Amino acid sequence: MNRLKFAEFISSTGKIYLIRTNKRKVKVRDYDELSLNAKYFPMILRELVAKPSGLKVDDFSSFRELMEVCKAAVTLSGVSKPGKECR
């Protein structure tokens, strides 16, 4: 049985987020098509950010912080394809 693994991420505002890092257990449907497009932010927050749980796009005080957390979640979780830059 594979256990979920986590990484801690501290945003530029000092908030702490816990990111799921074991991509085999993360239920993201299409890793190859995942890009940091705003339409994916709700899914990234729901599937990859473990704490704070239930995080929504509207919970962020700025778009910059939302983008920073989503980019970190994708990078730390390992769901982006090797050799491809997360934008």
Residue range 12-71, pLDDT digits in tens: 999 999 998 865 544 555 554 555 677 888 988 988 899 999 999 999 999 999 989 988
Domain membership flag for residue 48: yes
Residues 55-70 pLDDT 10s:
999 999 999 999 899 8
At residue 85, the pLDDT reads 44
Domain membership flag for residue 36: yes
Domain membership flag for residue 1: no
CA triplet 5, 10, 13: central angle to 5 degrees? 155
Domain membership flag for residue 52: yes
Question: b/e per residue, 24-62, with b = 16+ CB within 10 A?
Answer: eebebeeeeebebeeebbeebbebbbbeeeebeeeebee
Radius of gyration of the chain measured on its C-alpha atoms: 12
pTM of the model: 0.74
- The boundaries of the domain holding residue 68 are 6-77
3-state DSSP assignment of residue 67: helix
Total domains, the chain: 1
